Amino acid sequence: MQVAVIGGGVVGVSTAYFLAAAGHQVVVIERYGNVAQETSYGNAGLLSASQAVPWAAPGMPRKIVSRLLKSETSVLLKPTMDAALWRWVRKWLPECDPERFRINTRRMQRVALYSQHLMRQVRDHYDMRYDQTTGLLQLFRTPQDVEAARSAIELLVEAGIEHRLIDTDAARAIEPALGVHTPLAAALHFPADESGNCPLFSRHLKNITQQLGAEFHFNSTVKNIEPDGERLRFHIDDRSFTADAVVLAAGIDSMELLAPLGIHVPLYPVKGYSATAFIKNFDQAPLASLFDETYKVAITRLGSRIRVAGTAELGSRTLHLHGTALRTLAKVGDDWFPDAANYNTSTFWCGARPMLADETPLIGPTPIRNLYINIGHGSSGWTMAAGCGKIVSDLVSGQTPDVDMEGLTLARYGKA
Ligand SMILES: Cc1cc2nc3c(=O)[nH]c(=O)nc-3n(C[C@H](O)[C@H](O)[C@H](O)COP(=O)(O)OP(=O)(O)OC[C@H]3O[C@@H](n4cnc5c(N)ncnc54)[C@H](O)[C@@H]3O)c2cc1C
């Protein structure tokens, strides 16, 4: 089939790869000059099934409110009249219910584990290098943070995600440079989780996908999509094209293309930040990746650089850098690896997580024949990209995906 993939982020590129590998004639349309230039560009780089957990968790609303006015915080709320934000918050709040949390976590981890498996296959098959590391430490600063993680730990056991709750000494044995002046109550060690450089991976995968025959059209913005008999028609500038099938993987902007087709989903941009600094003292740098549970900030080693990433900012649709977020990242970097880098002189970046109210991606068919979606991956888009790409490719090919699709399609909003 002739398949057009709209969006050249890590999700679109992964989808294009599996479609091309399945023998389809694939065209990727991307508005920027290369792949992974938007949210996939500066993310934390975790490839982590253990962290594929919704923020909508029991106790989270209270935690968010208590942190809003702090000078360093995991959550920022910009006062706004944006009705879409308040509609989204109204849908997000019920997802903090313990049972909804369990359902959403199970769905996300099902996809993340499948994705991790495929990612390793692809990486080994093509001998890809993208600054990857293995192993992740989730750090709990206080006993209360450990206690709050109990229900998530139960779900790790259920999902079969390898983990070990360890004390401070064991954590320091894994990451010897971990700062001694910052309180650490305990840590969870995930030996199978990984991290790496997402845009570098995306560029490698783009090259491989091109070798499989796919075409990439850059600097091309799709204006709209419409049914055209058995095919789909889409417009780029004043030109019009058709394809047998279209996969929409346009991140947060997917909504603009879906709305005129009558498909409305609770997707909202949740802004996040990263700070990337060159390592000045290699003995004092992290060996792999870490996640500070209190501040919800990740620290990853990317070759000779360290990336500190996190913060959820609601209510801002611009890519303006907020001082509080940058301060929080610098603080967390200084807290855990104070002598590794100068975080204040980092390269700072922000991007919009394409976040659904229930935080599980939407993958698969739409009410429009031959139009598929691969959207809403929130905080775990790279972690899930390979799995979601393969699922969509299987569906386009008329095959049954390897994973149970319960709760992953538009049917969960009653729209498929
Ligand atoms: C601070 C931060 C940290 C994160 N950390 C992690 C992490 O550690 N691990 C993880 O797994 N995930 C992480 N994420 C989430 C992850 O980055 C995203 O889920 C993922 O990048 C989404 O990929 P995407 O391809 O859907 O979107 P994008 O990367 O935004 O790609 C969408 C593409 O579509 C293109 N596009 C949009 N509209 C059109 C159009 N009309 N025509 C043509 N092209 C169009 C855009 O230009 C863009 O390139 C993080 C996110 C942030 C912000």
Q: Is the pLDDT of residue 69 over 90?
A: no
Average pLDDT of every residue of the chain: 96
Interatomic CA distance for residues 153 and 132, integer angstroms: 25
Q: Which two tokens stand for residue 240?
A: 């019009």
Give the per-residue pLDDT at 24. 98
Q: Is the pLDDT of residue 415 over 80?
A: no
**98-126 and 198-211 helices, crossing angle to 10°:** 60
Q: Is the pLDDT of residue 390 over 80?
A: yes
User: What average pLDDT does the segment 361-375 reach?
Assistant: 97
Supply the DSSP symbol for 142: S
pTM, two decimals, is 0.97
User: What average pLDDT does the segment 293-299 reach?
Assistant: 95
Strand partners, 2: 25
Confidence label for 162 from pLDDT (cuts 50, 70 and 90) = very high
Q: Is the pLDDT of residue 72 over 90?
A: no
Give the per-residue pLDDT at 209. 98
* pLDDT single digits (tens) 311-345: 999 999 898 999 999 999 999 999 999 999 999 99
Q: In whole angstroms, how far apart are CA 98 and each of 88, 146, 312, 334, 377?
A: 19, 17, 21, 34, 21
User: What average pLDDT does the segment 394-398 reach?
Assistant: 98
Does ligand 1 lie within 6 Å of residue 199's CB atom? no
* pLDDT single digits (tens) 199-219: 999 999 999 999 999 999 999
8 Å CB contact between 329 and 273: yes
Give the per-residue pLDDT at 235. 96
Closest CA to 28 of 2, 65, 63: 2
Q: How many Cα atoms within 13 Å fall on the side-chain side of residue 35?
A: 29
User: What average pLDDT does the segment 180-186 reach?
Assistant: 96
Ligand 1 centroid distance, CA of 298 (Å): 17
Give the per-residue pLDDT at 123. 97
Q: For the chain, what's the residue count?
A: 416
Give the per-residue pLDDT at 414. 85
Does ligand 1 lie within 6 Å of residue 37's CB atom? yes
Give every CB contact of residue 333 below 8 A, 6+ residues apart in sequence.
Answer: 275, 277, 299, 306, 308, 340, 341, 343, 346
Q: Is the pLDDT of residue 416 over 80?
A: no
Cα 267 to its chain centre, rounded Å, is 14
Domains of the chain: 2-40+200-265+359-413 (3.50.50.60), 46-94+131-195+267-356 (3.30.9.10)
* pLDDT single digits (tens) 217-245: 999 999 999 999 999 999 998 899 999 99
pLDDT more than 70, % of the chain:
100
Does ligand 1 lie within 6 Å of residue 355's CB atom? no
Handedness of CA 13, 16, 21, 26 (dihedral sign): negative
Give every CB contact of residue 355 below 8 A, 6+ residues apart in sequence.
Answer: 267, 268, 269, 270, 376, 378, 379
Q: Is the pLDDT of residue 354 over 70?
A: yes
Cα 289 to its chain centre, rounded Å, is 16
Ligand 1 pocket mutation pick from 209, 363, 379, 384 by most atoms within 8 angstroms of CB = 379
Ligand 1 centroid distance, CA of 416 (Å): 24
Ligand 1 centroid distance, CA of 359 (Å): 14
Q: Is the pLDDT of residue 70 over 90?
A: no
User: What average pLDDT does the segment 112-141 reach?
Assistant: 98
Looking at this protein, which amino acid is placed at residue 207? N
